[in-house]
Amino acid sequence: MTDTSLPRIAKPPHRVLFFGKNMSRSRATGGLVEALRGQGLEVRWMNLATHRRWVGRPAAIRNARRAFARFKPDMVFVFCRDLPFSLLREFHAEATTVVWVEEPLQEFPDEYIEYLAEADAVFITNPSKLAMLRSRGVHHAAFVLEGFSSTFHYPLGKRSYKRDIAFIGGPGREGKRAEFLASIARHHDLEIFGCHWDEWRKLHPHLRIHGPVRPRGYRKVCAESRIVLGLNQVNRDSLYFSNRTFLTLACGGFHLTHYVPGLERVFRDREHLCWYRDLDDCIAQIDHYLARPEDRERIAVSGRDYVHAEHQFDSRIRYILHSLRLGRAEGPPWLDTGDAELGSVVATTGSE
């Protein structure tokens, strides 16, 4: 294998035109913009979804073209697909185009492949999909972990417990999370915070469900819960896990999350967080840690300090800019790639 081939930027960018929705719950887009500015770049952020609601699609497209012409960016940075394909192709002719994808990528329709192929560089948070992208002609894709910004996610302060267990998020595809959490709630004091639970509330009336939380509420839930449970959309893909892992640790929560292959390359079990492998294991670990508040606090503090030091968005942006200067994506610095096949997979993501 060889390293991922990326466009080599002869000189560092100065102006970045960023396209992305607000992401009011995770604040991922705000964190990325903040990190770009932290590298000394001048950044203009356009939320085309909001523009379309205000003025309609044709006017929003014109506004984006006008912003590009006036701002004259060196780089266009797109969160997921928050820039129409026609504009991505148009802007690509004059600026380096980078697409950040934090979706699970379970399906690859032709129009999605065409979109990613048009960009100069694609950074995805699910490295198990790199081979599929290469097989479809997207050779300029590389792995990047999700992250967080301490501007939005940080510990609230003194703990004041109101519940044993909290889960933050939706019911998952086909209600898989709902079934799992309903089983937990039959044994333990559990509260859920998230969207799209109405259907599952009817099937599992014993579930206690609240609305979604934004960063302030996220901090509060972490401070008030003895355990913050993690459930990923997908548990079989190497190194792909919910961004709530970082958000929970950043807010000082004790996090018990579902294991995914390679998770030990990022975190240490029972030092930064704890993981389980199935429902029975989860219930056993809940029982274990509810009885051990000092262990919970030690692990929560260690996890908090670790992610604040190593896993904020500024480290991701530094890695992306460094990769573009080199013209290739090397092994991500935040991964322990010392002794396993997985390390070589994520460190060398080009075609064979």
| pLDDT tens track for 132-169 | 999 999 999 999 999 999 999 999 988 999 999 999 99
Backbone angles phi, psi at 14, to 5 degrees: -115, -35
Question: Going by C-beta distance under 8 Å and a sequence separation of 6 or more, which residues neighbour residue 90?
Answer: 65
Predicted local distance difference test score (pLDDT) of residue 3: 52
What CA–CA distance (Å, rounded) separates 53 from 111?
Answer: 24
Tell me how far the alpha carbon of residue 59 is from its chain's centroid. Answer: 31
Predicted local distance difference test score (pLDDT) of residue 348: 30
Exposure class string for 90-116: b at 16+ Cβ within 10 A, else e:
bbeeebbbbbbbbebbeeeeeebeebb
CB atoms near residue 249 (< 10 Å): 31
Q: What share of the chain is helix, strand, coil (3-state, %, to 5)?
A: 45, 20, 40
Strand 328-329, strand 4-5: pairing: antiparallel
State whether residue 109 is helix, strand or coil.
coil
What CA–CA distance (Å, rounded) separates 74 from 162?
Answer: 50
**CB 36, CB 73: distance < 8 Å:** no
**CB 74, CB 95: distance < 8 Å:** yes
Nearest alpha carbon to residue 96 among 22, 3, 4, 10: 10
Q: What are the start and end residues of each CATH 3.40.50.2000 domain in the chain?
A: 4-147+312-339, 163-310
What CA–CA distance (Å, rounded) separates 251 from 151?
Answer: 11
Question: What's the sign of the alpha-carbon dihedral 140, 240, 247, 177?
Answer: positive
What CA–CA distance (Å, rounded) separates 175 from 122?
Answer: 30
What CA–CA distance (Å, rounded) separates 218 from 168?
Answer: 8
**CB 78, CB 100: distance < 8 Å:** yes
Q: What is the CATH T-level fold of the domain 163-310, as seen in this structure?
A: Rossmann fold (3.40.50)
**CB 98, CB 78: distance < 8 Å:** yes
Instruction: State the amino acid at position 42 in one-letter form.
Output: E
Looking at domain 4-147+312-339, its CATH class is alpha beta
Backbone angles phi, psi at 350, to 5 degrees: -85, -175
- Flag residues of the chain having pLDDT under 50: 1-2, 337-352
**CB 303, CB 310: distance < 8 Å:** no
Torsion angle of alpha carbons 114, 116, 117, 123, nearest 10°? -160
Predicted local distance difference test score (pLDDT) of residue 4: 66
Place of tokens 């939320």: 47
What CA–CA distance (Å, rounded) separates 6 from 142?
Answer: 9
pTM: 0.92
**CB 312, CB 149: distance < 8 Å:** yes
